[in-house]
């Protein structure tokens, strides 16, 4: 994976009101960091959490070093206050590796997370920017790559690489979050899941690589149960491509979602599905869904196409009911 350069981060530091210079303070396990610091060696921590970075002054350049949780049920690095920053290193063997809390507007970039137990990046605050996270997912089957917890809103999750996530690559609660340009390889249950505790999220231009094939932008190409699962209202899901999942895109008892210009081809069972009699006013527009195992477009609770859901201008071959367009 080509990870984002630190140029963007260094450009944004003055915006957050953070100095570019680092101090000579030696970082130790259990510290609360309130200035700009750089790690000078690997840390193996018994403290819980391993480190805390408190903004607006606090920032930590891991400098390529590793922070390890000795106890795997302990937390990794907490970002607290406003506009704390963390970048350029490895976090290993922690429960939740990174937590973005309190006032938000935190910046996390270019972090590799190994031996994940719980959640790679847990977002509990607003207006955070998370990019360049690499998670090989040599962790538990219940692990989640990146999660926004309700009511976390206005977060940007972009340009991350999540491999073999145990439960879900990206799990979204909260509102008005943007998930774009991520790569998810072979998710367990969900590539991207939109929980019912949220809505009005943008899911755009996500990418997944399968079996070392060349990356194709806007692709979810894994063995997960559902590529994109939608259980909240008023989301925009656009220009993603899902293949080799059980179901490509599934809307489950949720309303007013727009699913447009996606590719949902070569899935095991279904391309695009709307389930539930309470799913209303969803718009399925100009998608491509072909060569799926059972049906390309599937709406089992609307046998006569008389619901308020609109299926318009989609390219597909075998649909149920066959009045779906």
Confidence bin at 14 (pLDDT 50/70/90): very low
Q: Looking at residue 202, which CATH number applies to its domain?
A: 2.160.20.10
pLDDT tens for each residue of 169-179: 999 999 999 99
Rounded Cα distance, 121 and 98, in Å? 5
Whether the pLDDT of residue 315 is over 80: the answer is yes
Domain span at 223 = 141-320
What pTM, to 2 d.p., does this model score? Answer: 0.89
Nearest CA among 35, 17, 27, 70 for reference residue 51:
27
Share of the chain above pLDDT 70, in %: 86
pLDDT at site 7 = 43
- Its sign, for the CA torsion 19, 22, 25, 31, is positive
Cα dihedral 43/49/55/58 (nearest 10): -10
pLDDT tier for residue 78 given thresholds of 50, 70 and 90: very high
Please check the confidence at residue 220 and state whether its pLDDT lies above 50: no
pLDDT higher than threshold 60 for residue 23: no
Could you tell me if residue 112 is inside a domain? no
Residue 164: what pLDDT?
A: 74
Grouping H, G, I as helix, E, B as strand and the rest as coil, residue 11 is helix
| Of 34, 28, 29, the residue nearest 54 (C-alpha) | 34
141 in Cβ contact with 166 (< 8 Å):
yes
Out of 31-35, 36-40, 221-225, 317-321, least confident range: 221-225
Contact between 289 and 315 under an 8 Å Cβ cutoff? The reply is yes
Write the pLDDT tens digit of every residue in 32-70. 999 999 999 999 999 999 999 999 999 999 999 999 999
pLDDT in tens, 180-219: 999 988 877 888 999 999 999 999 999 754 443 322 333 3
- In contact, 136 and 169? CB cutoff 8 Å: no
Q: Name the pLDDT band for 239 (thresholds 50, 70, 90).
A: very high
Residue 123 counted as domain residue: no
Write down the pLDDT at residue 18: 45
Decide which of 166 and 301 is more confident.
Answer: 301
Q: Look at the block and give the residue holding tokens 């847990």.
A: 122
Confidence of residue 310 (pLDDT cuts 50, 70, 90): very high
Residue 196 within a domain:
yes
Please check whether residue 45 lies inside any domain of the structure: no
Asked whether residue 9 carries a pLDDT value surpassing 80, the answer given is no
φ, ψ of residue 11 in degrees (nearest 5): -65, -35
Please check whether residue 49 lies inside any domain of the structure: no
In total, the chain counts a number of residues equal to 325
Mean of the per-residue pLDDT values for the chain? 88
Report helix, strand or coil for 145. Answer: strand
- Of residues 2 and 113, the one with the higher pLDDT is 113
Peptide bond into 115 cis (omega under 30): no
| pLDDT digits 0-9 by tens, 245-277 | 889 999 999 999 999 999 999 888 999 999 999
Q: What is the CA radius of gyration of the chain?
A: 20
Residue 64 within a domain: no
How many structural domains is the chain composed of?
1
* DSSP codes, 181-221: S-EEES-SSEEEEEEEEEE--EEES-B---TTPPP-TTEEE
Gap between the Cα atoms of 52 and 31, Å rounded: 6
Phi, psi of 208 (to 5 degrees): -140, 145
> Does 224 have pLDDT greater than 60?
no
Assigned domain for 82 exists = no
Model confidence at 138, in pLDDT bands (50, 70, 90)?
Answer: low
Inside any domain, residue 23: no
């Amino acid at each position: 994976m080509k990870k984002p350069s630190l140029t963007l981060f260094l450009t944004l530091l003055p915006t957050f009101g953070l100095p570019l210079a680092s101090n000579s303070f030696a970082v130790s396990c259990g510290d609360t960091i309130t200035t700009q610091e750089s790690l000078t060696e690997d840390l193996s921590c018994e403290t819980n959490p391993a480190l805390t970075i408190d903004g607006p002054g606090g920032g930590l350049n891991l400098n390529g070093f590793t922070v390890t949780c000795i106890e795997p049920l302990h937390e990794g690095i907490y970002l607290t206050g406003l506009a704390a920053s963390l970048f350029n290193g490895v976090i290993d063997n922690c429960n939740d590796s990174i937590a973005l809390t309190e006032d938000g507007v935190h910046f996390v970039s270019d972090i590799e997370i190994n031996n994940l137990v719980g959640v790679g990046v847990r977002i509990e605050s607003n207006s955070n920017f998370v990019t360049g996270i690499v998670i090989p997912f040599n962790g538990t089957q219940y692990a989640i790559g990146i999660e926004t917890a309700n009511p976390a809103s206005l977060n940007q999750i972009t340009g991350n690489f999540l491999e073999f996530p145990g439960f879900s690559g990206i799990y979204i609660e909260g509102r008005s979050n943007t998930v774009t340009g991520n790569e998810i390889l072979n998710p367990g249950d969900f590539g991207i899941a939109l929980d019912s505790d949220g809505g009005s999220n943008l899911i755009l231009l996500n990418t997944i690589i399968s079996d070392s094939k060349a990356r194709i932008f806007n692709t979810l190409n894994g063995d997960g149960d559902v590529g994109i699962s939608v259980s909240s209202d008023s989301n925009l899901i656009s220009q993603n491509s899902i293949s080799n999942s059980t179901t490509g895109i599934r809307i489950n008892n949720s309303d007013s979602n727009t699913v447009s210009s996606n590719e949902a081809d070569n899935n095991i069972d279904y391309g695009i599905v709307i389930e539930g009699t309470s799913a209303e006013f969803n718009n399925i527009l100009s998608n491509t869904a072909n060569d799926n195992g059972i049906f390309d477009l599937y709406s089992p609770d609307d046998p006569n196409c008389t619901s308020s859901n609109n299926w318009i201008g989609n390219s597909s071959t075998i649909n149920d009911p066959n009045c779906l367009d």
